[in-house]
A and B are shown apart, each in its own frame.
Chain A
Amino acid sequence: AQKITQTQPGMFVQEKEAVTLDCTYDTSDQSYGLFWYKQPSSGEMIFLIYQGSYDEQNATEGRYSLNFQKARKSANLVISASQLGDSAMYFCAMTRAPGGSEKLVFGKGMKLTVNP
């Protein structure tokens, strides 16, 4: 079975600083995908970044990058230059990929607060 662990319940960061959100995972699959989503208070899950297990390079999407360390089974999200609008819940998730179902297994999430 797949499992995602997010141990940080909450973090505080100053605006314009970089922040790393931790995520470790457990799976017996050789092929899988890792996602990060942001959930503001409105409830919508906003896709941030995706990393496939066979991708050799770490994924980047604008201010977001994923620090993928396969041997350590970690997929930490790095947000550079935090903005006030980054304050939200952040979820790490994984799925079987490619060719598998879209069933996502989520971590419990962590709350990021960006202070001015």
Chain B
Amino acid sequence: KAGVTQTPRYLIKTRGQQVTLSCSPISGHRSVSWYQQTPGQGLQFLFEYFSETQRNKGNFPGRFSGRQFSNSRSEMNVSTLELGDSALYLCASSSSPGITGELFFGEGSRLTVL
């Protein structure tokens, strides 16, 4: 059974550009959540999607957005990139919200903003 797949794994952008990251959850999983990891702030929750609906959103500016498709794949977008957006972006999937003890992460997308 394939794990959570995130693409691209690495990318470099410049300030002001936008970026789209993709996450394919484990087959059969319908819940996807996103996290940002930086050395200074640690791991912070971005948003969570279930059945194409955003269920929760973390404390991030509106430049950060996401969506989920009918096949449960999810994308997140960051517009007008800032240097501080450089981070590892991690996606996690579970079969459905509240199914405890079952939350698996991908390898992440490492974004560098120059």
Contacts and interface: CB of A to CB of B under 8 A. Distances in A.
Contact of A52 (B101, B105, B108): B101
A43 B48 contact: no
Given A52-B101, A99-B98, A91 B43 contact: yes
Nearest to A49: B101
A105 interface: yes
A47 B108 contact: no
Instruction: Classify the interface of chain B: helix, strand, loop or mixed.
Output: strand
Nearest to A42: B107
B88 A33 contact: no
Contacts, number: 73
Nearest to B105: A45
A105 B33 CA distance: 12
B107 A101 contact: no
Interface residues of A, number: 27
Interface in A24-44: 33, 35, 37, 42-44
B94 interface: yes
Contacts of A100: 97-98
A104 B35 contact: yes
A47 to B, nearest CB: 6
B33 to A, nearest CB: 5
A61 B12 CA distance: 38
Contacts of A42: 107
A97 B103 CA distance: 12
